[in-house]
Structure formats: C-alpha cells, structure tokens
Structure 1
Amino acid sequence: MTRLKDAVDHIAKAVIKQRDLLDRLDSIGDSDHGTNMARGFNAAIEALDALEDDSTKNVLHTIGTAFSENIGGASGPLYATAFLRAASVCDKDTTFNIENVEKLLGAAIEGIKKRGHSDVGEKTMLDVLVPVYRCFTPEQAKDKTLYQCIEAAVKAAKKGIDYTKTIPATKGRASYIGERSVGHEDPGGMSSLIMVRELFNFLKY
C-alpha cells in the first residue's frame, strides 16, 4: 500500500469512527451524514485495496466513484464530485506538493460550488474547505513547507466550523428551519474538518 493509500485509510477510519457524532450534528437535516460518510469510506477502502494502479489520479477517482455509487443524501454527491474533479486535474505523475494541493483543492471546491449551487457563507462544507484552500495559495504558503501548510489548514478548518455555528443554513434540509439552525455546526463542514485534521495527524508519524 502506498503512503497515499495509507493516508486515505487513516482518514477513512477516523471519519467512520465519528459516524455517531456526524449523525447527531445532522439532526437539523436528515440525521444520516455520519452513516452516509461511513458507507462511502468503507466502499472506498474496499475499492482501493483492489486497485493496482495507485497513482494520485486513480486513488482520488476511486474514492469519488465509491462515494458516487454508494451514498445518497446531500453531502455524498458533493464529496463524490470533489474527489472526481480533483482527479480530473491530475496527470499520472501528480504528487503532493503545495502547488498541486492548491490545484486539486481548487478543482474540488469549484465542483462543489457548481453541484451544490452554493458558496461560502451558506453553512456548508465550503465554509471549511475554502479557508483550508487559502492556506495553500502563494500568498499564505510563502516560505512554508507542505506540512506547515496542512498545520495551518487545520486551524483554518476549526475557525470555519466555528463560523458555521453563527449563520443560518440556506442549503439542504437544514434550510427548512432557517434561523433555528444557528448554534449548530454544519455536519459536512465537520466531516471536512476531520479529514484535514487526520491528514495532519497521519503526517506527524
């Protein structure tokens, strides 16, 4: 198993472990975000175990396909789109450096925006992912290592999830309760935070 597949395995298990938390956070929606994420990552792990060509492009495409084929709800198709769009801007030799992470995240975010007809400030995963993306832009990444950028991204993600508590939901089932969603963290934002945090934790060892 390559280091990328090891990282995905670590992240997947961390998200699956937080299934109940994510379902509880989704009480303002369908209460199934954690269940859906666990289903998607379990399918992704199984597919990756059988993958022979484990290039970055193929790994990301395999995860996206697993999510697309195994998850319903709102966040599943959005995550599927994110991984597939990221895969689409890879070539067979793409490795993880600051420039490539910026490119992959940028493509993923644009895919989420178009698929979800959403943007920052609407209590979605974008309120976490866009601040994370900015940590890899030339303005913020200057003189930093990739590891330092990911460390900064964890802090940005935490600020993003805190921000989602202060605004009403305008997308998905949670939008039905409007202002009553204030005070609740966005579950999609939380799963994004977990993924960024666990990538950082994986790279520490």
Structure 2
Amino acid sequence: MIDKRATLIETATRLFHERGFWDTPTALIAREAGVANGTLFNYFPSKAALVEAVYLSLKQSWATHLQAAAPASGSVHDRLAGYWHGAIDWARAHPDRYALLGQLKLSDEIGDGARAHGIDMFGATLELIGEAMARGELHPIEPALLKALAEAQIGAAIEFLVNHPDAMAADTAHTSFEIFWRGIAVAPTGD
C-alpha cells in the first residue's frame, strides 16, 4: 500500500527544490504525486502545513543520519566528531535536500512549534553537550550560540567541499571539527 502522506512529502521536497516553495502550487504537487488536489488537503490543511512537514522530514532524515554516524559511547570528542562527520556526509549525499533545508530554515512558513520539534530531533547531541558542560569538559556556552556556531562551521566545510570537489571529504570534516573542538573544549590542566 502506498503511503500517500509520505509520497506527498517526497514530491513536495523534489518540487520545492526544483521550483522553490513559493512557486510550487499545491495542485502541481498533488498531480505529480498522483493524487487529487483535495486529497493533499486531507493530509495537510494548508500549504504552510505541507512546508512544515517537508522541513521536519528533512530534519528527521539528517538527525537519523547523525545518530547512526556517531559512536554510542566513548569520549565526548569522538562522539561529537561522529555527529560532525555524519552531518557533512548527509549534506554531501543529499545536496538538494541540504540546500532546501537551508532555505526552509530561513522561511517564515516554519512556525515556532515546528522549529522546536526540529531541534528536539537532535536531543541526543544536545544532551551529550549539556552533560559535558556540566562535567566541565566543555566551556559553558549558551546552547543557541553553540548550535549557531556548529551549523555555521559545518556549513563552511560543506561549501568548501562543494567548491573544491577534489578535496578529501574525510580530511575536511576532521580538520573543521578539530578547529571547532578547540573552541569549545576546556583544555586539560597542563595543556
């Protein structure tokens, strides 16, 4: 059985990337998904609700990839490095989805509830950071600032790899993470 909701989200994701979400009518999404326009509104009461569903679908895909990429145990450094590498790997594997996610993050169509839910999907990462701060392993940085810094530096590494296709992705991910790590980690005594 075909999951019409998932099909509509996938179709909208593709069309939003190709045409922009402002220039993609719901009738086109429904037609491309093989459903009646009214059926789309059975699943999403408005286009804004569909845009939020696409946003959350992309965030979930990214969060799932990060969780799978990071070791379940080990040092904070190694676990955060796993998340970092996972973020870069996901963006490189899905450049269209990464670009669309970047656009949607800036959109007024994404409400506060969807934004909060999107952040909650990264709960394991945020929990690890909070615990490391409480133990004094990381500088006590405002979580929103730390998130913004990480996103900016991951974005810079991804942009570098897009513009330098011959660069070694693993080396770039490693170097960019180590620079970030030096900024957030409390140096052990004697360093």
Alignment TM-score, normalising by the size of structure 2: 0.28
Alignment TM-score, normalising by the size of structure 1: 0.26
